[in-house]
Chains A and B, each alone.
Chain A
Amino acid sequence: MTNAMDREAVPEPLNPLGIDGIEFIEFATSKPQALGGVLELMGFRPIARHRSREVELYRQGTMNIIVNSQPADVPRTVQPVETPVISAFALRVRDAEAAFRHALDLGAWEIPVRALAMELNIPAIHGVGESLIYFVDRYDEFSIYDVDFRAIPTVDPHPPALGAMSFFGIVQYIGADRTADWVEFYRQLFGFTPLPDAVRFGIMPKGLLLQSPCRKFYLQLIEPDDTAQFAPADEHLQRIGFGTPDVLATVAVLEQRGVEFLTSDKVRTSERGALTKARLGSVMFELVHAEPAPAAPSR
């Protein structure tokens, strides 16, 4: 069995890009208000609107979520439809341009910059399916949102997080026999480390966990069930995981707000984690027991 002792023997993962967590996660949908309602139930607040595009910024604690309903003009990116889709995530890095060049040198696909959701020069590459991966290096003293967004008046720009929630990770659905490929993708381009199978978080027993080189978040790769193996591969970012120090207390707070959690033979709320029922056809969130994230840098 693999345990904490064995993991100590694993050398410190390299972090050549200076990855420092997730800056934002983006949804695409043609019904931004419906998704906004779901996000608000989960504790997010709309705090700013994009100056020129149909893009809104939601926030709680250290977590930023962008809701993009601008029609896409780049091939192989998410075209907003009614059912919301996770269309991108942004990595905080030491030097966005350098991280972008490094990824391209290794074989990533670039996105034409001017077509992106932001006016700022935020470089991005293609990720799984139609999703994108952005590189952001302006998250410390001033932020990308100061340039592209107009604050919604009278709204607290830094609403505290319910239950001290923070981004824990993203679940990625992949095709049959594709785990090795995607491990290589995240390992080679960003320095993620696959965790031994015995290391588990939350209540979802499936898939392979990849730890970010900054050790602040995880990606979970899930291949289809046996029965679905011969269906055409639909690879995509499926759901966001929130870390919270007290899962049961956070579940109670969210249930009071009207969030429903899944209870089935395989999945039920426990101290380890919980899974919300799908809303708007596809939007679900996972809670995972985790110690609180370090305090957010002042903005």
Chain B
Amino acid sequence: MIFRDFGMDTASLAGSLENKLAAIRKAGFAQVMISAADIVGHPGGAAAGARVVRASGLKVTGLEALRDFEGLSGRLHVYKVGVAKSMLEVCAALGGRVLLVEASTSTHADASEDAVARDLRKLAMLALPLGIRIAFKGVSWSRTVKDFAAAGDLVFRAACPNLGLAVDAFDVLTARTPLDDLEAIDPEQIFLVQLSDYMWHELQSAEEEVATATHFRVFPGEGAHSDDLARFVRALDDIGYCGEYSFDVYNDDYQQMPVETVVDRARLAAEWLAETVLRRALPVPNMERLRRPPHPG
């Protein structure tokens, strides 16, 4: 059951959607975060991609990611509402219950809290009949919503029951966000937690931070900040978070490695988190454990 708390992200793996899902399942994961590009990029079309996901037996954590949605006006707003509706329809077709939304980094966006909250409320309303929750995430290079505390303020202001937070460990690590800030967050409002680490000890510039976030993340336990990451996960556990964890590892190297090798690293990360960090995996009868895939040959 505990291992069911952790899911992989299709964006971490190279190759076809079918291969990614099969590898994730074989490694023992029960759920998967789906990157929209994997669905619409399926050779058989989006509907075929959705069927593949539904047939995989994996629970869909959610769909990612809608970006630069809020704070726009006029035609730009209408355009983004169309994009959002399309992503919500894909999410519903997958049976996904969460759409990940990253705070706008656009300089064209109105950054006023009222405008952002109004648009988030509208997005949540669009998602509501489909049974989808909006997980809103601060982005460290956003002009206004840089972290989960700022995102939490906006979610509170927008006040819609299916609007909550996504918290990304990477942002917490790079910004050195005090973990006390988590105590101000209602754990029920956290719809998704994303976990990853990175190899550098220090990020020298904003540019390096963006490049690292999008190209050089590694799985929990593999990076240079394992202790901080462990403290972060324990702090979440302490405030009562019992939702899902997803490994959002975007790494160019992993795109050049066989999926079996990458999912093996993800499995080690899940084991480290469950057994060493959270210390809650064993021994409980009938509890599912991640099983090492049988050795070839």
Contact = CB atoms under 8 A, between A and B. Distances in A.
Interface of A: 105-109, 126-129, 175, 178, 180-185, 188-189, 233, 235
B125 A107 contact: yes
Interface of B: 85, 121-126, 128-129, 131, 160-162
Top 7 closest A-B pairs, CB basis?
Answer: A107-B125, A180-B161, A107-B122, A107-B126, A181-B162, A181-B128, A181-B161
B129 A127 contact: yes
Contacts of A184: 125, 128, 160-162
B131 A109 contact: no
A232 to B, nearest CB: 8
A188 B125 contact: yes
Of B123, B128, B129, most buried by chain A (CB within 10 Å of CB) is B129
A233 B125 contact: no
B161 A128 contact: no
Contact of B122 (A106, A180, A181, A183): A106
A235 B130 CA distance: 10
Contacts of B129: 109, 126-129, 185
Contacts of B160: 184, 188
A128 B129 CA distance: 6
Given A180-B161, A184-B161, A106 B131 contact: no
Nearest to B119: A107
Contacts of B121: 106-107, 188
A81 B131 CA distance: 24
Nearest to B159: A184
Given A178-B131, A233-B131, A235-B131, A108 B125 contact: yes
22 contacts: A105-B122, A106-B121, A106-B125, A107-B122, A107-B124, A108-B126, A109-B126, A109-B129, A126-B129, A175-B131, A180-B161, A181-B131, A181-B161, A181-B162, A182-B128, A184-B160, A184-B162, A185-B125, A185-B128, A185-B129, A188-B121, A235-B131
A235 B125 CA distance: 16
Nearest to A174: B131
Question: Which residue, A105, A126, A181, A182, has most C-beta atoms of chain B within 10 A?
Answer: A181
Contact of A109 (B85, B123, B161, B162): B85
Contacts of A129: 129
A105 B124 CA distance: 12
Nearest to A175: B131
Contacts of A128: 129
Nearest to B129: A126
Contacts of A185: 125, 128-129
A183 B160 CA distance: 10
Contacts of A126: 129
Given A107-B124, A185-B129, 5 more contacts: A107-B121, A108-B125, A109-B85, A182-B128, A184-B160
A129 B129 CA distance: 7
Nearest to B92: A76
Contacts of B162: 181, 184
B287 to A, nearest CB: 19
Contacts of A105: 122
A262 to B, nearest CB: 30
B50 to A, nearest CB: 14
A293 B122 CA distance: 35
Nearest to B88: A109
- Name the residue in B85, B122, B161 with the highest tally of chain A Cβ atoms < 10 Å from its Cβ: B161
A99 to B, nearest CB: 15
Given A181-B162, A184-B160, A189 B131 contact: no
B266 to A, nearest CB: 27
Contacts of A233: 131
A182 B162 CA distance: 10
Contacts of A107: 121-126, 128
B221 to A, nearest CB: 33
Name the residue among B122, B128, B162 with the largest chain A CB count within 10 angstroms. B128
Residue from A107, A126, A185, A233 with most neighbouring chain B CB atoms (10 Å): A107
A182 B130 CA distance: 11
Nearest to B125: A107
Contacts of A235: 131
Contact of B125 (A178, A183, A189): A189
Nearest to B122: A107
B86 to A, nearest CB: 12
B199 to A, nearest CB: 40
Contacts of A127: 129
A183 B129 CA distance: 12
A175 B124 CA distance: 17
